[in-house]
Chain A
Amino acid sequence: MDVYLPIANLSVNGLYIVLLGGLTGILSGLFGVGGGFLTTPLLIFYGIPPTVAAASAATQVTGASVSGVLAHSRRKGVDYRMGGVMVGGGIVGALIGAGLFRVLQSLGQIDVVISILYVLMLGSIGMLMMREAVSSLRPGLLGKAGVQVKKRRHHPLVASLPYRWRFYASGLYISPLAPAILGMLVGILTMLMGVGGGFLLVPAMLYILGMSGNVVVGTSLFQILFVTMVTTMTHALTTKAVDLVLAALLLLGSVLGAQFGTQIALKAKPEYLRLALAALVLLIALRMLYGLGVQPDEIYTVVPL
């Protein structure tokens, strides 16, 4: 099924794109991550221009996180106050990201920076997740460091920030600057990489902010939902790289896949799921690292002036 993508300016196999969206949808249903970290690189491997890939993937993540936010808000799993602060930071981050995007694009380094960011982030997070998954499956394999259940407490740096607010749903009394900065960092990444940033937000909210576990996923999805919306708009206005046809195909796959993933998640063991996610994240990081180190097929690239 050949589909012509008007903004990407090429013809692709529509079925492949829907399947790709489905795969990331299953992931988001399984693990509660947006799946953008998978969509963008796979679209680039397929030959979609990186900018179009990042912009359209952000649009897809919006769709994938809607039903999640709705489900979590019904269960009172969203801290709106915390979420609002993070969205505010995220919007600032998206705008900073847009500026960075433009600077890096004019320097010709945007692709390399995106790849390096992917390798660094996915590599480190994949290692952490792998370590945790292995130690929870095989206690004692990695020594005692693995499943040490610490008393939940936020990072000392967070405690030192001024102007504290009360976040009742999260059970926190901390400065709003901490979640705002966190939101901003993730917003920059969303703009640059087309990722929702859930795989970064969730651990940061747990281990750095020290939020209570029952609101972490819902609040992270809330932040992702709004920041990807802003990112889509920023891309539409600045890079003009949002491909509606591409986004619609991805969305079709991912919203269906998400439901499928939720069904699997109910049946499978969470430890194995986390192990699988860790392996997948590491695999993509390795593939990107390989891509950076190996001589590329094309030494030359052309950009319009």
Chain B
Amino acid sequence: MAGRLILLAVAWATLSAQQEPILVPAVSQSRIEVRQGFTGARLLLYGAVIDPSATGRAGDYDIVVVLKGPTEPVRIREKERIVGIWANAGSSDFRSAPAFFAVASSRPVGEIVDERTAAIYELGTDFIQLSPSGQIDPEEQARFAQGLVELRRRQGLYQENPRGVSIAEKVLYQARIDLPSNVTTGRYTAETFAIARGRVLASATARIEVVKAGLEGQVVSAAQRWSFLYGLGAIALSLGMGWLAGRLFARA
């Protein structure tokens, strides 16, 4: 009985997959290296949507691309005026704030899907699942979350581009997302959604690795792993340069 059920489910899945368009995504770079002179990178996410049924075209649909950086637990602090001085007062913790978050879509997300679907698939900076922790009332938490999103938006780390995806011939799509120079390294995921009539028809995920390479990577790993030697190196550098300059100019 159970075997039959599974068989049925598989058959249904393949049948319905026949109806759904297939999303074939690709990324211009699956590895971004942060090295000397890095001023940011432009990521090209492209692909095709194929309808396996007769015409080969998927009809009218929209594409939304979400690029998400590694998540980390953070504490948000809020400044308040205390006896004439602006100092940190309240704080709120979030368990999973993405270091980078960009949404590009072929039309404004509000026109493509309703708010509920947007929230489920995190299709917008207002819908990032930050997982607040601790005991604070929801209203205050929303204010802190808003503060975080606004801050990172100004830093170029959270982006929304409602016209960032172009679709050619209803088959090929491409999205451009700019990574600023202050991106965090780690594993990024790019999720592409094909949406029609307010429903997500197909989705696909690609991974992108952002790493510090070359001298930059070595400096960071040395600072973390061999802190003592790194400190000695910094001291030696400053002593050496100071001494050298003194010698050079004393002779001149």
Contacts and interface: CB of A to CB of B under 8 A. Distances in A.
Given A67-B242, A71-B246, A244-B219, A302 B235 contact: no
Interface stretch (B10-18, B43-51, B73-81, B165-173): B73-81
B84 interface: yes
B219 A6 contact: yes
A264 interface: no
Contacts of B246: 66-67, 70-71, 255
Contact of B243 (A66, A112, A299, A301): A66
B88 interface: yes
B142 interface: no
Contacts of A237: 227-228, 231
Contacts of A6: 212, 215-217, 219-220, 223
Interface string B143-172: 010011011101000000000000000000
Given A66-B246, A300-B151, A302-B75, A293 B86 contact: yes
B37 A259 contact: no
A245 interface: yes
Nearest to B229: A236
Interface in A136-153: none
Interface stretch (A7-15, A161-169, A176-184, A204-212): A7-15
Contacts of B91: 108
Contacts of B84: 292-293
A259 B93 CA distance: 49
Interface residues of A, number: 54
Size bracket of the B interface: 35 or more
A56 to B, nearest CB: 9
A203 B239 CA distance: 26
B223 A242 contact: yes
Nearest to A116: B85
A112 B84 CA distance: 12
Given A4-B181, A6-B220, A300 B239 contact: no
B241 interface: yes
Interface stretch (A87-95, A246-254, A265-273, A277-285): A246-254
Contacts of A4: 34-39, 181, 216
Contacts of B244: 255
Interface string B112-143: 00000000000000000000000000000000
B234 interface: yes
B238 A60 contact: yes
B243 A70 contact: yes
Interface string A53-79: 000000110111111001100000000
A7 to B, nearest CB: 6
Contacts of A9: 182, 184
A304 B99 CA distance: 10
A242 B231 contact: yes
Contacts of B237: 59, 63, 244, 247-248, 251
Nearest to A241: B223
B87 interface: yes
Interface string B208-240: 000010011101100110011011111101110
B72 interface: yes
Given A7-B223, A233-B232, A304 B73 contact: yes
Contacts of B77: 108, 300-303
A252 B241 contact: yes
Residue among A60, A235, A255, A302 with the most chain B CB within 10 A?
Answer: A302
A298 B149 CA distance: 12
Interface string A210-245: 000000000000000000010011011100101011
A43 interface: no
B116 to A, nearest CB: 28
A251 B242 contact: yes
Nearest to A292: B85
Contacts of A11: 38-40, 181-182
16 contacts: A6-B212, A62-B238, A62-B239, A63-B242, A66-B246, A67-B245, A108-B88, A237-B228, A240-B223, A242-B234, A248-B237, A255-B244, A292-B86, A296-B79, A303-B77, A304-B74
Given A233-B228, A304-B74, A305-B93, 9 more contacts: A11-B39, A63-B238, A112-B85, A236-B234, A244-B234, A259-B249, A300-B76, A300-B144, A302-B77
